[in-house]
Structure 1
Amino acid sequence: MTERRREIVRMEIAHAAVRLFTANGVSGTTGDDIAHALGLSTRTLWRYFPTKESCVRPLLTEGLDLVAGHLRACPADTPLLEYLDQERFFDGDAPLVEDSVMDLIRMTRTEPGLMAVWLEVHHAAESVFADIIAARSGDPADGMSVRVQAAMLNAALRLAAEEQARHPSGSPGAPPGGVGALVRAALTTAVRGLPTFGHGPDA
């Protein structure tokens, strides 16, 4: 099986898992249920993911992978917020468009197994962000300043997503502009401590 096909199957499993978790709860869903929904054997399912909760991991990494790609592409002489504005990154709900992602993040508040996956995803992303910042600044990725900058960036993205999950679009208390506006507000705060990405005009 090609790597591309494996990624497609992993995403199909993730979508099936979140549908079942939303409908039946995490405790009311088994690995057998997820496998059956896709016509897979349970043995095949466990080849892709070690636990039923970890089946949703691909959905939770999508937004972070998108941000990492933009960080890598940001020109050295362009402030991060300015570059993301140019790329229309903050328009509407662009950074995290799938309702299923918001459903998952909302469930992490009451489902310890999903919260563990959510935090693990962000822990892994923090190391990626540190590598990107280090390459840009010339400082070591394991240095304190780079690790703090990566942690701030990571926390800003996580808190923006969690805030959007608490107040879905169209619900009372939902912030205007959707998740894009929330991510922009969070990153505006974070880049004040990210000298390697500059401040931009509105920071």
Structure 2
Amino acid sequence: MTAARGRPSLTERRRQENRLEIAETAAALFSDQGYEATTVEDIASGAGISLRTFYRYCAAKEDALTPVMTSSVGVLVEELARRPVDEPLSSAVQASFTSSTAARQLADREQARRLVRVMGTVPAIRMRWLAAGREMQDQLVPVLAARKGAPEDSMEVRLLACALLDAISVAMEHWAWQDEPEDVAELTRRAVDYLRIDEL
């Protein structure tokens, strides 16, 4: 049985669910006991899978978080694509960010803050995050191009995608390291407003 056009097959959806389960288990362990103290065996056991299955999805421990890093951006892009095209881009991005994070790991604020700190300070994971950034930009470009009425291969659209993702990343990293954290959605709003994207 084939999948509907544009929709993943049942097999692929199961693969995505398995990857996310591994990632969420790894995220919780890294947050609770630290990256160095967490072994691949810990992650596999926590996810209820064998080591062989873990390595089928992840080449190494540092690869386990990639789905967590990218899934929220994927939801953000989907939410942004649904927003009215005449809505100011800054408002649309903020509404999409709020919708994309509300039901995910940011609901557990302290665990999420620890996770963001791990992503920013563990070199192996930070490298994966930077590499994933290009793929996430590629997801965002068509949506921004459609809103701006510009070709997808224009330099300006790619710059806008890069700037937006960097602004969100900086806001979340700032939030993760604050002694008395502000509301992450408010920090993100300020970061996006600072770009003045509605004037572009």
Match of 1:199 in 2: none
Give the AA of the match of 1:131: P
Match of 2:49 in 1: 40
Give the AA of the match of 2:160: Q
Distance 1:133 1:40, change over 3 A: same
Match of 1:128 in 2: 139
Q: Please give the alpha-carbon distance, in whole angstroms, between the structure 2 residues aligned to 1:40 and 1:90.
A: 33
| Residue segments in structure 2 that go unaligned for 5+ positions in a row | 1-9
- 1:108/1:114 contact within 8 Å kept: yes
- 2:88/2:198 contact within 8 Å kept: no
Q: Superposed, which structure 2 residues align to 1:27-176 within 5 Å?
A: 27-83=36-92, 87=95, 90=98, 94=102, 96-99=106-109, 100-167=111-178, 171-172=179-180, 174-175=181-182
Worse-matched range after superposition: 23-32 or 122-131: 23-32
Give the AA of the match of 1:193: I
Asked if residue 187 in structure 1 is aligned to residue 192 in structure 2, the reply is yes
From 8, 15, 32, give the equivalent of 2:17.
8
Structure-1-length-normalised TM-score: 0.78
Structure-2-length-normalised TM-score: 0.79
RMSD, matched Cα: 2.6
The alignment partner of 1:37 has SS state of: helix
- 2:137/2:162 contact within 8 Å kept: yes
Distance 1:76 1:19, change over 3 A: closer
Q: Please give the alpha-carbon distance, in whole angstroms, between the structure 2 residues aligned to 1:68 and 1:97.
A: 20
Identity of aligned residues (%): 33
Provide the aligned length of Structure 1 versus Structure 2: 187
- 2:62/2:124 contact within 8 Å kept: yes
| Residue segments in structure 1 that go unaligned for 5+ positions in a row | 197-203
